[in-house]
């Protein structure tokens, strides 16, 4: 019988964390019975991994102002939080996992500490003492007003409760210490897994002439999408360049209606709410315009599409800007700072993009399989090394 892995995933602003977690789950389920705690709304059309158990917690997220909100209109925030805490602990005691895998916390997700600390305390007090691991993306937010205090708090929690940290990146591209700088060194083992990308069947796809514009989950994508619609209006008389805009499942409904109204009757504009495979859309497009989240950036690399990224950078969120700068330095894409976004500038950048040839980015993309093996190896240890040392 396979050991059980209890995997906590919370996607708050977009769907990137969910996409990466599903890719990890597909690798993990060959070695574990996986129980996934899903903390955000599940968008329609997203393919859920088979052969796993999913516990859908009352969905929470953050709004554009970084405030924690309930995604269930009929459930107040405080009640949703109480139900989630109970469900998480019930799941832990019911499945008695050999592995507890938590996405991002304590390096992020501070707003969810009220439900995660009870889980971590239960794991530490358990007779079976499961291995506890953190799943991290390549680059962390590192421009908070209280960044030093945040990082030191994360270090203390990691050392108290976690046995290993998996950084889903190629260390030649990004290292944890570049965006995580506590006052004291982190003494939990850190493993670089390579980037995690969803497994896809190889297929031959003909590039079409259109520009693909996308904004991840869409909750903060309206400024880019609206600017792209106006840029297309400017470009159409001279270049007749078709645009296909993918709004994202979490774009607020008033913003979606505004885009639909702006696109109504427009020649050369196709507006789509959501697509199941953005990388496939990028392989079909002549050019791509997007933000620069973890999954969007990797989709660009995998697709090899000429791409312009306009990173999301509000409320101290510098992670996408850092990633965009690194990929632009490799020649993998072009980068437009969000402060410079306007229809005229975007139109000029898109014209330049049509003659841009991206360089292939030589980065490790085998992170899902390597993560699963590292976690399987760690879970068979009766007394994880970091706890024995403690």
Task: Kindly report the CATH number assigned to the domain that includes residue 319.
Answer: 3.40.50.2000
What's the pLDDT band for 92 if we cut at 50, 70, 90?
very high
Pair (138, 164) in one structural domain: yes
- 310 falls within a domain: yes
pLDDT, one tens digit per residue, over 290-328 is: 999 999 999 999 999 999 999 998 877 899 999 999 999
Top-confidence range, 15-29, 103-117, 193-207, 373-387:
103-117
Eight-state DSSP code of residue 359: P
- 157 falls within a domain: yes
pLDDT over 70 for what percent of the chain?
96
pTM of the model: 0.93
| pLDDT, position 386 | 45
Owning domain of residue 308: 211-353
Pair (384, 339) in one structural domain: no
- 241 falls within a domain: yes
User: Is 223 buried (19+), middle (13-18) or exposed (0-12) by CB count in 10 A?
Assistant: middle
Pair (156, 192) in one structural domain: yes
Give yes or no for a contact between 21 and 196, defined as CB atoms under 8 angstroms apart. Answer: no
Pair (269, 144) in one structural domain: no
Half-sphere exposure of 49 (CA within 13 A, CB side): 24
Pair (33, 176) in one structural domain: yes
pLDDT, one tens digit per residue, over 12-64 is: 777 888 889 999 999 999 999 999 999 998 887 778 888 899 999 999 988 76
pLDDT, one tens digit per residue, over 152-202 is: 999 999 999 999 999 999 999 999 999 999 999 999 999 999 999 988 766
Pair (21, 89) in one structural domain: yes
- Residues of the chain by 3-state class (helix, strand, coil), percent to 5: 40, 15, 45
- With a CB cutoff of 8 Å and minimum separation 6, the contacts of 341 are 223, 224, 227, 310
Pair (9, 122) in one structural domain: yes
The alpha carbons of the chain give a radius of gyration, in whole angstroms, of 21
Q: What b/e string do you get for 36-48 counting C-beta neighbours within 10 Å, with b at 16 or more?
A: bbbbbbebeeeee
- 360 falls within a domain: no
Pair (166, 293) in one structural domain: no
| pLDDT, position 377 | 96
Pair (186, 274) in one structural domain: no
pLDDT, one tens digit per residue, over 215-225 is: 988 988 999 99
Pair (123, 216) in one structural domain: no
- 139 falls within a domain: yes
Q: What does residue 209 show for φ and ψ, rounded to 5 degrees?
A: -95, -5
How many structural domains comprise the chain? 2
Pair (189, 241) in one structural domain: no
Distance CA 231, CA 47 (A): 33
- 206 falls within a domain: no
Indicate if the pLDDT at residue 2 is higher than 60.
Answer: yes
Pair (377, 344) in one structural domain: no
- 383 falls within a domain: yes
- 47 falls within a domain: yes
CA atoms 217, 219, 224, 227: torsion sign: positive
Q: Of 76, 66, 67, 17, nearest to 41 (Cα)?
A: 17
Half-sphere exposure of 137 (CA within 13 A, CB side): 26
């Amino acid at each position: 019988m396979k050991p059980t892995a209890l995997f906590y995933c919370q996607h708050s602003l977009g769907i990137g964390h969910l996409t990466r977690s599903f890719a990890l789950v597909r690798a993990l389920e060959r070695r574990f019975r996986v129980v996934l705690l899903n903390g955000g709304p599940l968008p329609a059309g997203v393919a859920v991994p088979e052969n796993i158990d999913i516990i859908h917690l009352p969905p929470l997220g953050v709004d554009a102002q970084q405030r924690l909100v309930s995604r269930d209109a009929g459930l107040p925030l405080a009640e949703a939080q109480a139900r989630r805490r109970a469900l998480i602990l019930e799941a832990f005691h019911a499945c008695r996992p050999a592995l507890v895998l938590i996405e991002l916390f304590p390096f992020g997700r501070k707003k969810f500490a009220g439900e995660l600390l009870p889980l971590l305390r239960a794991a530490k007090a358990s007779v079976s003492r499961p291995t506890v691991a953190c799943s991290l993306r390549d680059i962390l937010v590192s421009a908070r007003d209280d960044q030093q205090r945040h990082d030191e708090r994360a270090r203390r929690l990691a050392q108290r409760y976690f046995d290993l940290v998996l950084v889903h990146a190629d260390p030649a591209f990004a290292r944890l210490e570049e965006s995580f700088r506590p006052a004291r060194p982190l003494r939990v083992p850190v493993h670089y897994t390579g980037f995690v990308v969803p497994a896809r069947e190889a297929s031959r796809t003909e590039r079409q002439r259109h520009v693909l514009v996308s904004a991840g989950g869409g909750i903060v994508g309206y400024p880019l999408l609206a600017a792209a619609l106006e840029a297309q209006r400017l470009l159409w008389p001279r270049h007749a360049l078709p645009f296909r805009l993918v709004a994202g499942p979490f774009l607020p409904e008033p913003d979606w209606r505004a885009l639909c109204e702006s696109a109504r009757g427009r020649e050369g504009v196709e507006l789509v709410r959501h697509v199941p495979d953005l990388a496939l859309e990028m392989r079909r497009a002549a050019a791509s315009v997007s933000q620069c989240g973890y999954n969007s950036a990797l989709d660009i690399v995998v697709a090899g599409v000429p791409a312009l990224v306009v990173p999301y950078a509000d409320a101290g969120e510098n992670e996408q800007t850092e990633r965009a700068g690194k990929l632009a330095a490799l020649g993998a894409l072009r980068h437009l700072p969000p402060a410079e976004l306007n229809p005229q500038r975007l139109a000029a950048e898109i014209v330049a993009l049509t003659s841009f040839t991206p360089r292939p980015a030589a980065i490790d993309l085998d992170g899902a399989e390597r993560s699963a093996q590292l976690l399987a190896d760690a879970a068979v240890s009766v007394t994880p090394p970091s706890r024995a040392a403690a």
